Amino acid sequence: MDTMLVYGSYGYTGRLVVERAIEQGIEPVLAGRDTAKLEAQATEWGLDCRVFGLEHSDIVAQHIAEFDVVLNCAGPFVHTHEPIVEACLSRGTHYLDITGEIEVFEAIASRSERAEEAGVTLLPGVGFDVVPSDCLASHLGNALPEATHLALGFDSLGAPSPGTALTMVEGLEAGGAVREDGKIRRTPPGWKSRSIDFGHRERTAVTIPWGDVSTADRTTGIPNIEFYMALPPQAIRALRLSQHLGPLLTNSLVKDGLRSFIERAIDGPDAEERQQGESRLWGEVSNGEERLIARLTTPNGYTLTAETAVESARRALDGETPNGYQTPSTAFGTDYVLEFDGVVRQDAREPTHSE
């Protein structure tokens, strides 16, 4: 029987993913490095588990070899992707994760040729970051094939999970990022801001180093890409000030302090918040003469992440994914995100300056 391993299964998002998989009739094998947490989860759901850390490549490869698909939910992925991806390439196992980290997408994309030779799919970013925005980018890129600029953004993700908060703190050190003339360029945090009409309301939004700065290039080929997050003006000011924390954040004591604060203070949205929450995405393509806009409404980001991650992994299990490095829309098509409950897309053509 085809089998799926969920690594990091007892984290906040890993647990949602496991519950969704069971709802969908998939019985994943659970994995992670903490024996007590893993065994408790495996007992709760009546599932098998494998306890292993990621320090020793031969041990990781031995475990991965048993499985057809690995869905990695252990983040920040900058610390976890490499040993698992390498094990997948050597053992012919498809790899998926829920990263949103630009450097992780780039590192995995650089292994595309090896993945094709090995008959393996490498499909990072099958969560809220980047499934909806990647499908929106693909939709807009198709609508204006000669586009030179792509801007994407989201509003109201709701409260973050512990892992998201930690990944964001770790990302602060690197600052922001945009794509210019085909190349990723590092920027100060909160580099550019603009007002965006997300459909339900107009918000101030600021550039953030979201995964699409990497993935939308492969999806659309558009050379200039910016990603915006809606934030109140005072939060934008704080984000800009965070650049002065850069040197501080390289200090391991400061990092450990922040990590322990996050572990104590952040639980992630509860079931009610996830059920009530909604996210809005906006995208714009332009070529200097024409400007097209499209918007998406989606359920709460964590709810959508569990649904898209499990469905993407199921398709990999069923042999429906192309080999090599993929983005969600290159693997499953522009309209993939519309297959999920509560996701709606709307198009709008905006007047250009000359009209």
Ligand X SMILES: NC(=O)c1ccc[n+]([C@@H]2O[C@H](COP(=O)([O-])OP(=O)(O)OC[C@H]3O[C@@H](n4cnc5c(N)ncnc54)[C@H](OP(=O)(O)O)[C@@H]3O)[C@@H](O)[C@H]2O)c1
Question: Which residues contribute to the site for ligand X (CB under 6 A)?
Answer: 8, 10-14, 32-34, 53-54, 73-77, 79-80, 98, 100, 127-129, 161-164, 167, 268, 301-302, 305
CB of 246 to ligand X, least distance (A): 20
Q: How far is the CB of 355 from ligand X (least distance, A)?
A: 37
User: Of 54 and 150, which has the nearer Cβ to ligand X?
Assistant: 54
Q: Read out DSSP for 22-55? A: HHTT--PEEEES-HHHHHHHHHHHT--EEE--SS
- Cβ closer to ligand X: 269 or 324? 269
Q: Closest approach of Cβ 160 to ligand X, in Å?
A: 8
d(CA 70, CA 122): 10
Grouping H, G, I as helix, E, B as strand and the rest as coil, residue 12 is helix
User: Residue 319 has which token pair?
Assistant: 């042999």
Nearest partner of 41 among 69, 73, 63, judged by Cα: 73
User: Of 8 and 209, which CB lies nearer to ligand X in the complex structure?
Assistant: 8
CB of 74 to ligand X, least distance (A): 3
- Smaller CB distance to ligand X: residue 118 or 213? 213
- Cβ proximity to ligand X: between 40 and 348 the closer is 40
In whole angstroms, give the CA distance from residue 32 to residue 27. 16
The whole-angstrom separation of Cα 339 and Cα 300 is 16
Q: How far is CA 148 from CA 19, 285, 290, in A?
A: 41, 8, 10
* Min separation Cβ 164 and ligand X, Å: 4
